[in-house]
Amino acid sequence: AFSQVDNILDGDIKKMIEGVLIALKAKNI
């Protein structure tokens, strides 16, 4: 991430990944 836009995109991707992991954990319970 060399620019602010890239940093924002990286943050969105991380949030998406975290959301998926949380959803998978919820399904496993």
Q: What is the mean pLDDT of residues 8-17?
A: 91
Q: How far is it, in rounded angstroms, from Cα 29 to Cα 15?
A: 21
Q: What is the pTM of this model?
A: 0.56
Q: CB–CB of 21/12 below 8 Å?
A: no
Question: Cα angle vertex 28, ends 24, 29, to 5°?
Answer: 120
pLDDT at 18: 96
**Residues whose CB is less than 8 angstroms from the CB of residue 10 and which lie 6 or more positions away in sequence, other chains included:** 1
Distance, CA of 20 to CA of 11 (rounded, Å): 14
Give residue limits of the domains in the chain. 1-29
Kindly tell me if the per-residue pLDDT of 20 is higher than 80.
yes
Higher pLDDT, 29 or 1: 29
